[in-house]
Amino acid sequence: MLVSALRAVLPPGVAVGAADPTAPETGLWPEESAAMARAIPTRRREFAAGRRAARAAMQALDLPAAAISPGPDRAPVWPTGTVGSISHGGSACLALVARQGAITGLGIDLEPAEALPRDMIETVCTSTERDAITVHDLLGRMIFCAKEAVYKAQYPLSRQTLEFHDLETSIDLAEGQFEACFTRACPPFQAGARIPGHIVIAEGIILTVVILPAQ
């Protein structure tokens, strides 16, 4: 159901792959395994599931299988000519992949469909967002999830780390959409630049997706 709901909001040319992050660790390429040699077993299983999901998405696009090792910043290093994003949470792991060209960035995030802890609200939400979260118990978590997806989509282009308040979101619950606005310049994104995204809630999970088209 989660994958079907995700596919419903994806445009042509963006493929999704899924894997179980609680399953035994399998499918790592040698360089990926070496990069995770010191990781704890749970993290290795999640990492392996992410790579299996990513290669499943690549296969759906008839792209050759390839290693997706973490770079020095721990972000996935995608094969030349591709863009992608990976997220895992609980019993789900999803990856998005597209050919680079018409699409320049992808972001996906999975979070539990639970209220954001009160001690995180001020860190995550701007004052405007805090005023809005009273209308829905899950809105704080949706804002967190939306900002994570935007961060993943923009990072390969800007190579800049964002703070939560560097983005301000507005969420349309009825349409399952959100828009994030940069509150400061983050080249190539200017202050005031807006990025749209989708929100899906299924199987106890909040899922956000951002797709950046070529400018």
Output the known binding site for CoA.
43, 51, 87-88, 109, 148, 152, 162
Question: What is the C-alpha separation between 212 and 154, in angstroms, rounded?
Answer: 8
Sign of CA pseudo-dihedral 95, 101, 102, 104: positive
The annotated binding site for Mg(2+) is made up of: 109, 111
CA angle 14, 46, 200 (to 5 degrees): 45
Q: How far apart are CA 3 and CA 7, in angstroms?
A: 6
d(CA 51, CA 30): 12
Residue 209 near residue 107, CB atoms below 8 Å = yes
CA distance 156 to 106: 9
What whole-number distance in Å separates Cα of residue 30 and Cα of residue 32? Answer: 5
**CB-CB contact of 104 with 83 (8 Å):** yes
Find all residues with CB under 8 Å of 183, minimum gap 6, and list them: 126, 165, 166, 167, 168, 191
| Binding residue ranges | 43, 51, 87-88, 109, 111, 148, 152, 162
Length of the chain, please?
215
